[in-house]
Amino acid sequence: MELQKYNIFFLYQETFALTKRLFIQLKRRPSTLFAGILQPIIWLFLFGALFTNAPKNFLPGVDSYGSFLGAGLIVFTAFSGALNSGLPLMFDREFGFLNRLLVAPLTSRLSIVLSSFIYITILSLVQSIVIMIMTFLLGYGLPDLLGLGIVFLTLILLVLFVTSISLSLAFVLPGHIELIALIFVINLPLLFSSTALAPISFMPNWLGWIASVNPLTLAIEPIRVAYSSNIDLNLIALEAPYGDLTCKNCISSLFLLTILSLIIIRPLLNKKLN
Amino acid sequence: MHHIEIRSLSKSFRNVIALDGLNIKIGKGSLFGLLGPNGAGKTTLLKILATLINPDNGEIYINNINLRKDPRTIRELIGYVAQDIALDKVLTGRELLDFQADLYHMNKIKKYERIDSLINQLEMNDWIDRKCGTYSGGMKRRIDLAAGLLHIPQILILDEPTVGLDIESREIIWKLMTNLRNQGMTIILSSHYLDEIDKLADCVAIINNGKVIDQGSPTDLKNKLGGDRISLKVREFSNNEESETIKEILSKIDGISQIVVNISQGYSLNFIADREKDLLNKLKVELAFAKFEIFSLTQSQPSLDDVYLQATGNTLQDAEIFMTGKRDFRKESKESMR
Ligand SMILES: Nc1ncnc2c1ncn2[C@@H]1O[C@H](COP(=O)(O)OP(=O)(O)OP(=O)(O)O)[C@@H](O)[C@H]1O
Ligand SMILES: [Mg+2]
C-alpha cells in the first residue's frame, strides 16, 4: 500500500518534470506556438475573402463563408498541432536525449508519452482558443456554455487521436526528415478531403464518402452545430452518403477512434520503450 | 562478493560481433578501467550495463541482482555518463540537473542541496545558469557528469569522460573520480588514454574485438611482462622478411622472450629481456655474426602500452587507425537510435 502511494507520487513527479521541460522549450522557442496560430488566421482572412462576392445564401444555414470556415479552422489548428507532436520526441531520439530518460529509473516509461500528450493537448487548445477569439472578434459569434463544452470535448478527442498516431510514427520512422515529410503529405489532403472548406453537398459522391469518414469532419461538424444553434446532441450534424449523423454519432465515433488508436499504439510503445 | 559480475556476455549488430563472450568481475569501491581501441566494444558493454541495450547472451549481476530480470532496480544503482553528450540546448545547466533529479525521484530538499554541492565540486558556478547550448566541450562534460552523479549512484559508468578535454577540465574530473572512489563508489571508466587508466584505475581490462584479453591491476599487468622492454631496429625502415630473420635470431637467445614485430615503427622488434643476464652484449654478438648492425636500441620500464602491445601484437594507436577505417558512423548512429 505504502509502496503504491509512492509509485503514484513518483509517476506524477517524473511526468511533471518531463512536461515542464516541454513548456520551457516552448517558452524559449515560441515560434511553433505563433506559427500554429498565425497560419489559420491567414487562412481565415484569405479564404474568407475568396468568397466575398459569392451569391448570398449559397451555403445552407449560414450567412457568410467566414462563419462557415470558423469551425473548420478551429479543428485544423488543433489537428496540425497534434500532428507535429511527434517531432520533439523524434529529436530526443536523434540527439540521444531519450537515452537520458531511458537510463533513469522511471516508474513507468509511459510517462514520456504521457507528458507529450499533456503538453500537446494544452498547446493545441490554447491555439484553438485564440482562433475562437479571432472568429468572435470578426463577428462570427460564440457557442453557449454547453456548446463550448462540446467544442472542447471534440477537440480533446481529436488531439488525443492524432497525437497517438504522431508519437508512434516518431518511434517507428528512421528520422525527423521522414516524419516531417509524412506530416507534410498527410496535412493538407486531410484538410481538403474534410468539410472544413466546403459542405458535403458541394462534393462529388466519391469525395463525399471520404469526407464523411475523415476524422476532421467528425470533429468539425459538431463544432459547427455548436456555433450555429443551441446545441442539442441529437441534431443532425452531417448528411453523409451512408446516412445522417447526429452530433452524438460524430463525437462517439471520434471517441471510438481515439480509444482504438490508444489500444493499437500500446504494444508498439511497450516494445520501443522496454 | 563482487559488486558487478559479467558472465559470457555477447552482443552482435547484424554481422558485427561487438561483444564476444566477455567475462569481468568488478569489486566494490574499485575504479575499473576499460582499455581498448575504437570499436573494441567498450561502449556496447557500458550501454548494456546501463540497461540501454539488451545483450544477445550472457548475464550481468549487480549486487546479486540480475540486470535483465530487474532493470529498474539496477537503474537506481547506476549513474551513466554517455560517450556522446546529449544536453537540451534551451535548458540551463541548473534546469537540466533539476529535471534529472526529478527523473530519479529525489525529494526537494535533498535535490537542491545536492545540485549546489555538485556545482561547487565541479566548479560550474560561473556558467550553470547559462543555456546548455552555449557551453564549451569541457562545460558539457562537467554538467553531464554532474547529472550522472546527482542521485549518488553506487556505480558510476563513464564512457570516455575526458576525451578531447582541456587540461583544467581533465584535472577536475580526475580529482572528482579519485574522491568518489575513496568514498566507496564503484567507478567504471572507459578510455583510450593509457596514462589516464594507469594513473587512476585499480584494475584494468584490456578489450579487443569484444573479448577481454587481459585483466588485473596496472602494476600486476606490467610486472607480468617482467624484465625490461627493449625496442630494437637494425635500420630505420626494415621489412617483413628481415624482421622475421632477426626474430629467429633473438628467439634463440636465452632470456629474451615475448618478441613482437611492431610494423608501425618500421618493423622494429620489441621484446623483453631478463634483467640479470648480460643479454645486450650477447645480442650484439649474435647480430654481428649474422651481419646485422644495430641502428637503435631503446630500453624502458614496461608501460601499459607494452601490456597492450604484448596482448594484441598491435599498439593501441594502430588498432584505432585500423578500426576507424572500417566503421560506418552514420549508419551506427542511425541504428543506435531508440
Ligand atoms: N548500433 C550499432 N549498429 C551497428 N554496429 C554497431 C552499433 N554499435 C556498435 N557497433 C559496432 O560494434 C563494435 C563495437 O562498438 P563500440 O561502440 O562498443 O566500440 P568502442 O570500444 O566504444 O569504440 P570507441 O572507442 O570508438 O568508442 C564496432 O565494430 C561497431 O562498429
Ligand atoms: Mg565507445
CATH (domain of B289): 3.30.70.100
Same domain assignment for residues B135 and B241: no
Q: What residues in B contact A20, CB-CB < 8 Å?
A: 99
Contact B207, B35 (CB under 8 A): yes
Same domain assignment for residues B117 and B44: yes
Contact B155, B4 (CB under 8 A): yes
Is B252 a domain residue? yes
| Range from A146-160, B207-221, B226-240, B281-295 that averages highest in pLDDT | A146-160
Examine the fold and report which residue of B216, B239, B272 is the final residue of a domain before the chain moves on.
Answer: B216
In angstroms, what is the span from residue B45 Cα to ligand 1's centroid?
10
Distance separating alpha carbons of residues A1 and A7, to the nearest angstrom: 10
| Range from A74-83, A242-251, B255-264 that averages highest in pLDDT | A74-83
Is B333 a domain residue? no
Count structural domains, chain B. 2
The pLDDT, as a whole number, for residue A96 is 92
- The domain in which residue B235 lies consists of 226-301
* Beta strand pairing call for B186-191 and B155-159: parallel
Contact A224, A237 (CB under 8 A): yes
Examine the fold and report which residue of B216, B236, B251 is the final residue of a domain before the chain moves on.
Answer: B216
Mean pLDDT along residues B193-197? 83
Interface of A with B (CB under 8 A): 10, 13-14, 16-18, 20-21, 24-25, 28-29, 93-107, 174-175, 272
Same domain assignment for residues B161 and B244: no
Same domain assignment for residues B64 and B151: yes
Higher pLDDT, A55 or B87: B87
Pick the range with the lowest mean pLDDT from A171-175, A238-242, B172-176: A238-242
Q: How many contiguous H segments (helices) and E segments (strands) does chain A have?
A: 11, 2
The whole model's pTM is what?
A: 0.83
**Proportion of chain A above pLDDT 70, given as a percent:** 96
Same domain assignment for residues B36 and B150: yes
Same domain assignment for residues B67 and B98: yes
In the predicted model, is pLDDT for residue B168 greater than 50?
A: yes
Contact B271, B257 (CB under 8 A): yes
Same domain assignment for residues B171 and B266: no
Q: What residues in B contact A90, CB-CB < 8 Å?
A: none
Domains of chain A, by residue range, sit at: 2-273
Q: Which of A24, A102, A103 sits opposite B91 (nearest CB)?
A: A24
SS3 A160: helix
Same domain assignment for residues B193 and B234: no
The pLDDT, as a whole number, for residue B314 is 67
In angstroms, what is the span from residue B40 Cα to ligand 1's centroid?
7
For atom 2 of ligand 1, the residue with the nearest CA is: B332
Mean pLDDT along residues B264-268? 83
**Proportion of chain B above pLDDT 90, given as a percent:** 48
As given in the structure block, the three cell numbers for residue B131 are: 543555456
State the CATH number of the domain containing residue B119.
Answer: 3.40.50.300
Instruction: Give the contacts of A120 (CB within 8 A, at least 6 positions apart).
Output: A81, A82, A85, A159, A163
Mutation target for B interface from A89, A103, A106: give the one with most B CBs within 10 A: A103
**DSSP state for residue B92 in the 8-state scheme:** B
From the CA of B334, the nearest ligand is 1
Is B329 a domain residue? no
Same domain assignment for residues B40 and B146: yes
Same domain assignment for residues B143 and B212: yes
Mean pLDDT along residues B145-164? 93
Condensed to tens digits (0 to 9), the pLDDT of residues B32-89 reads 999 888 889 999 999 999 999 999 999 999 999 999 999 999 999 999 999 999 999 9
For atom 22 of ligand 1, the residue with the nearest CA is: B43
Condensed to tens digits (0 to 9), the pLDDT of residues B135-148 reads 998 899 999 999 99
In the predicted model, is pLDDT for residue A181 greater than 80?
A: yes
Residue B198, CA atoms < 13 Å, CB-side half-sphere: 14
The pLDDT, as a whole number, for residue B231 is 86
Mean pLDDT along residues B112-126? 94
Q: What residues in B contact A24, CB-CB < 8 Å?
A: 90-91, 95
In the predicted model, is pLDDT for residue A199 greater than 80?
A: yes
What's CA A141's distance to the chain center, in Å? 22
Distance separating alpha carbons of residues A154 and A249, to the nearest angstrom: 12
For atom 8 of ligand 1, the residue with the nearest CA is: B332
Distance separating alpha carbons of residues A211 and A72, to the nearest angstrom: 13
As given in the structure block, the three cell numbers for residue B67 are: 540486470
Q: Which residues line ligand 1 (CB under 6 A)?
A: B 13, 16, 18, 36, 38-44, 83, 327, 332, 335-336
Is B85 a domain residue? yes
ipTM of the complex: 0.88
Higher pLDDT, B56 or B284: B56
Predicted confidence band at B10 (pLDDT cuts at 50, 70, 90)? very high
What backbone phi and psi angles, to 5 degrees, belong to B313?
A: 75, 15
Same domain assignment for residues B90 and B185: yes
The pLDDT, as a whole number, for residue A1 is 42
Is B308 a domain residue? no
Condensed to tens digits (0 to 9), the pLDDT of residues A62-118 reads 667 877 888 899 999 999 999 999 999 999 999 999 999 999 999 988 899 999 999
Cβ within 8 Å, pair A102-B84: no
The pLDDT, as a whole number, for residue A2 is 47
Cβ within 8 Å, pair A102-B337: no
Is B67 a domain residue? yes
- Ligand 1 mutation target, pool B9, B12, B42, B162, most atoms within 8 A of CB: B42
Nearest to A79 by CA among A172, A214, A236, A233: A214
Is B244 a domain residue? yes
| H helices present in chain B, as ranges | 42-49, 71-77, 93-103, 108-121, 137-149, 167-182, 194-200, 218-225, 240-251, 279-289, 304-312, 316-326, 329-335
Predicted confidence band at B299 (pLDDT cuts at 50, 70, 90)? confident
Mean pLDDT along residues A27-49? 87
Nearest to A238 by CA among A203, A262, A215, A212: A212
Is B317 a domain residue? no
Q: Looking at chain A, how many residues does it have?
A: 274
